[in-house]
Amino acid sequence: MKLGSTVIASDDCIQGLNSIDVTSYCNIGTQRFSLNVTDLGGSTAVRTFTVQKVDVRIESDYNDRYPIEMGKSAQFTYTPYGAVSKTIHFKLNGEEETITTSSSGILQSYVVPAKPHGTYLLDVWITATINGTDVETNHIYKDLIWYDPTMDD
């Protein structure tokens, strides 16, 4: 087995099903592997295949320790990763809004509209379909608190 021109594995094949796990040889991006099999008579078969490894995730340094004054919106900052088209989900107390983006590694922001006095749970995650497989990232949870500055309680 070769990755590019580098031999990563060599072994005798037995008749029947043989397998090799190339996971540890895959970096983010696309790699081309080739498999050469030679039988006892000297005939060789070569198979090549391409593996794409995608790092889909979301990160945020948004600090939810500080309350937001009523009448003001909140700017939730986040960074999506993954060189694929992806849907970013923003769910605030059960109401969901989505955006689709292909950007990766670029800081972005989502404006949470002003809310009445109270606490709200913001749940943010990414979904994508890669080669027909649906993937879902980790969820980020933030507590957003809107307060009324005219109240003393």
Per-residue pLDDT of the chain (153 residues; tens, 9 = 90+): 888 888 888 888 778 888 888 888 888 888 899 998 888 888 888 999 888 888 899 999 999 999 999 999 999 999 999 989 999 999 999 999 999 999 999 999 999 999 999 999 999 999 999 889 999 999 999 999 999 998 875
Rounded to whole angstroms, how far apart are CA atoms 73 and 68?
Answer: 8
pLDDT at residue 37, as a whole number = 87
Residues of the chain with CATH 2.60.40.10: 57-147
pLDDT at residue 13, as a whole number = 79
What secondary structure does DSSP assign to 9-72, as a single string?
---PPPSS------GGGPPSEEEEEEEEEE-TTS-EEEEEEEEEE---EEE----TTS-EETT-
Which CATH superfamily, name and number, covers 57-147?
Answer: Immunoglobulins (2.60.40.10)
pLDDT at residue 14, as a whole number = 79
